[in-house]
């Protein structure tokens, strides 16, 4: 998700169903919270979808497991005056095992007028609760293909609070023109197109044909294939995206202008840069934001690897909601606000998800920290890239002060997105902040070379990514652990257990007597936690090798002792606990 969440928490907002959001912004300089209000005068009443549709990452049916989703061809007319859509989806599948039906998800708020299988009207199909089952005329054997055509229309769900509680946003610009966007990560792709709403069921390609009033533009995912003006006040915008993350398919309609340039990658290819902004925007602000695109791309390519979708574009579109990592067309709604850090936090965080979320997608929401934590760690790293260590440490401290430590970052069991993003049931904001701090401690433990090699392998599935030699992939926490151990030559299960699979932070306890300082790590699960600890005694630093979680060092009486002077080890700290009110002051 995106940087949206953490700042909303800093402002006291509740964490809702979230979307692709991450380390959030701080209040603006004038004291106004850095959260965009809904631009519409009065929110429309919410037409509610079924509980099934409002969930995402649901277990797939046997029929879905037996099909490979080859392609979706989506023709969608967006009708601003009626807040409605009229659409046709043509879906191509190949059987990987014998199968007698096609099963997809589509919101029951949308009325289906026709279902065809290989050009013949289908009978016996049903769509209870938003899971549509379409019996095939005859079962398919492995290797056979089928094409399903679904015509549907209606008023899709209105987002109560995009991007955290998603759907369509029907807004207007300052000069009264329609401004429309979708943001559906918490609920999934089935809010407006028939899909298999699961991260392991991405289609191989999605072609989009978005028809809108001719005075509006419709930037979307992937490569631009041109427009067709129908001469009747409507124009179709055509796009094609390879291997898209399903919730990242996005509609964006408004009075846009495009600013574009080419980015010459450090890997030798040229990547189109594209920013679709409102025509009424201040040109100087537009240019200032656009000028950040290339430096951010260079940072990510130097830190992680080549931009994953270089043959399509690095695209950004201005939206009436805060933001979301829509693959190759990231949503941006930060209104060009500055926060004294020298870069736009929202633009940077959503761009992180092109690597951590779109190129590498977790296999299950229980591994969401691979998106949000590693994506959030890119912000302090970028601050160091721009301004040096002081700015990086300041960002890490901001993240440290927001830790909740109520639920483990990773449970070890398959979970739905709501279970990890809702902080009364799961890690919530800790996916971002704690995930980032865990990554920082891990990097300092094993060293830059092993850490960044491991991140590259996790993202691309290989150590030597180059444009054209990789494709999108899925990953798990366990896979990341195995990669880290192989790259570092160290056993790291204790590190993952102590930080990711326990809610409470490891506690470093100390006693000082007889001229010695004795240290002991106490992990929440009681397992040994052999994290080395730096100690500074009267200005001289030494590293205590905490074999078995214990260690000691000479410390003469009266000497000044400073534990972990560079804050390398994420740990429980009494003064932070007291500040947060979890233990009484002075206890």
Phi, psi of 370 (to 5 degrees): -65, -30
Pair of tokens at residue 425: 């049931």
Distance, in Å, from the CA atom of 194 to the CA atom of 198, rounded to the nearest integer, reads 12
Distance, in Å, from the CA atom of 539 to the CA atom of 68, rounded to the nearest integer, reads 62
Q: Do 72 and 206 touch, CB atoms closer than 8 A?
A: yes
What angle separates helix 345-355 from helix 293-303, to the nearest 10 degrees?
40
Q: Residue-wise pLDDT tens for the chain (587 aa)?
A: 444 443 343 333 333 333 334 333 333 333 323 333 344 445 555 568 999 999 998 899 999 999 999 999 999 999 999 999 999 999 999 999 999 999 999 999 999 999 999 999 999 999 999 999 999 999 999 999 999 999 999 999 999 999 999 999 999 999 999 999 999 999 999 999 999 999 999 999 999 999 999 999 999 999 999 999 999 999 999 999 999 999 999 999 999 999 999 999 999 999 999 999 999 999 999 999 999 999 999 999 999 999 999 999 999 999 999 999 999 999 999 999 999 999 999 999 999 999 999 999 999 999 999 999 999 999 999 999 999 999 999 999 999 999 999 999 999 999 999 899 998 999 999 999 999 999 999 999 999 999 999 999 999 999 999 999 999 999 999 999 999 999 999 999 999 999 999 999 999 999 999 999 999 999 999 999 999 999 999 999 999 999 999 999 999 999 999 999 999 999 999 999 989 886 554 44
What is residue 420's predicted lDDT score, i.e. its pLDDT? Answer: 95
pTM of the model: 0.91
Among the candidates 460, 482, 503, a domain finishes at 503
Residue 259 placed within a domain = no
Same domain assignment for residues 518 and 469: no
Same domain assignment for residues 22 and 141: no
Count Cβ neighbours within 10 Å for each residue of 271-289 and write b for 16 or more, e otherwise: bbbbbbbbeebeeeebeeb
| CATH classification of the domain holding 2 | 1.10.390.10
Domain that holds residue 555: 507-579
The torsion of the CA quartet 317, 320, 324, 325, rounded to 10 degrees, works out to: -10
Same domain assignment for residues 349 and 301: yes
Distance, in Å, from the CA atom of 25 to the CA atom of 290, rounded to the nearest integer, reads 19
Residue corresponding to tokens 């494709």 = 471
What is residue 580's predicted lDDT score, i.e. its pLDDT? Answer: 86
Residue 49 placed within a domain = no
Query: How many independent structural domains does the chain possess?
Result: 3
**Cα 24 to chain center, whole Å?**
13
Q: Do 256 and 227 touch, CB atoms closer than 8 A?
A: no
| CATH classification of the domain holding 549 | 2.60.40
Pair of tokens at residue 81: 């005056």
Among the candidates 503, 527, 543, a domain finishes at 503
Phi, psi of 417 (to 5 degrees): -60, -40
Pair of tokens at residue 369: 């920290």
Same domain assignment for residues 416 and 489: yes
| CATH classification of the domain holding 139 | 2.60.40.1730
Residue 311 placed within a domain = yes
What is residue 52's predicted lDDT score, i.e. its pLDDT? Answer: 96
Distance, in Å, from the CA atom of 47 to the CA atom of 183, rounded to the nearest integer, reads 16
Same domain assignment for residues 175 and 123: yes
Residue 518 placed within a domain = yes
Residue 43 placed within a domain = no
Among the candidates 254, 285, 308, a domain finishes at 254
Same domain assignment for residues 275 and 394: yes
Same domain assignment for residues 409 and 462: yes
């Amino acid at each position: 998700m995106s940087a949206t969440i953490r700042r909303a928490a800093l402002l006291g907002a509740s964490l809702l169903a979230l979307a692709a959001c991450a380390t959030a912004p701080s209040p603006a300089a004038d004291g106004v919270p850095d959260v965009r209000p809904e631009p519409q005068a009065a929110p429309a009443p919410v037409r509610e979808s079924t509980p099934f549709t409002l969930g995402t990452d649901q277990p797939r049916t046997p029929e879905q497991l037996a099909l490979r989703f080859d392609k979706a061809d989506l023709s969608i007319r967006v009708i601003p005056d009626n807040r409605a859509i009229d659409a046709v989806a043509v879906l191509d599948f190949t059987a990987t095992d014998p199968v007698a039906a096609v099963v997809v998800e589509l919101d029951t708020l949308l009325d289906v007028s026709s279902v065809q299988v290989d050009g013949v009207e289908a009978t016996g199909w049903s769509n209870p609760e938003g899971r549509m089952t379409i019996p095939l005329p005859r079962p398919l054997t492995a290797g056979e293909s089928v094409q399903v055509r679904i015509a549907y229309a209606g008023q899709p769900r209105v987002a109560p609070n995009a991007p955290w509680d998603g759907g369509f946003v029907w807004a207007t610009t300052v000069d009264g023109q329609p401004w429309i966007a979708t943001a559906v990560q918490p609920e999934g792709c089935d809010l407006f197109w028939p899909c298999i709403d699961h991260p392991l069921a991405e289609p191989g390609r999605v072609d989009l044909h978005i028809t809108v009033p001719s005075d509006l533009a419709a930037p979307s995912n992937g490569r631009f294939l041109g427009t067709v003006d129908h001469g009747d006040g409507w124009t179709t915008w055509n796009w094609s995206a390879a291997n898209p993350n399903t919730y990242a398919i996005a509609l964006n309609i408004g009075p846009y202008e495009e600013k574009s340039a080419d980015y010459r990658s450090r890997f030798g290819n040229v990547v189109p840069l594209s920013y679709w902004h409102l025509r009424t925007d201040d040109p100087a602000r537009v240019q200032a934001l656009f000028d950040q695109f290339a430096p951010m791309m260079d940072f990510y390519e130097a830190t992680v690897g080549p931009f994953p979708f270089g043959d399509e574009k690095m695209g950004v579109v201005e939206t009436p909601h805060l933001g979301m990592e829509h693959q190759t067309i990231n949503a941006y709604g930060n209104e060009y606000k500055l926060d004294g850090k020298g870069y736009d936090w929202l633009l940077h965080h959503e761009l992180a998800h092109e690597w951590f979320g779109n190129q590498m997608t977790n296999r299950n929401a229980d591994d969401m920290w691979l998106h949000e934590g590693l994506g959030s760690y890119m912000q302090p790293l970028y601050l160091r890239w721009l301004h040096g260590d002081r700015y990086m440490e300041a960002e890490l401290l901001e993240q440290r002060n927001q830790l909740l430590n109520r639920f483990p970052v990773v449970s070890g069991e398959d979970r739905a997105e709501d279970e990890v993003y809702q902080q009364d049931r799961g890690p919530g904001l800790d996916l971002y902040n704690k995930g980032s701090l865990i990554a920082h401690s891990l990097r300092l433990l094993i060293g830059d070379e092993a850490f960044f090699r491991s991140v590259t392998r996790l993202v691309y599935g290989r150590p030597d990514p180059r444009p054209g030699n990789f494709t999108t992939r899925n990953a798990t926490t366990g896979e990341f652990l195995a990669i880290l151990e192989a790259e570092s030559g160290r056993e790291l299960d204790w590190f993952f257990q102590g930080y990711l699979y326990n809610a409470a932070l490891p506690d470093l306890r100390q006693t000082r007597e007889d001229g010695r300082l004795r240290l002991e790590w106490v992990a929440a699960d009681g397992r040994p936690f052999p994290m080395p600890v730096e100690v500074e005694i009267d200005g001289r630093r030494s590293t205590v090798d905490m074999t078995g979680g214990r260690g000691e060092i000479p410390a003469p009486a009266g000497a000044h002792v400073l534990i972990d002077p560079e804050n390398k080890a994420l740990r429980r700290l009494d003064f932070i606990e007291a500040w947060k009110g979890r233990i009484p002051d002075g206890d």
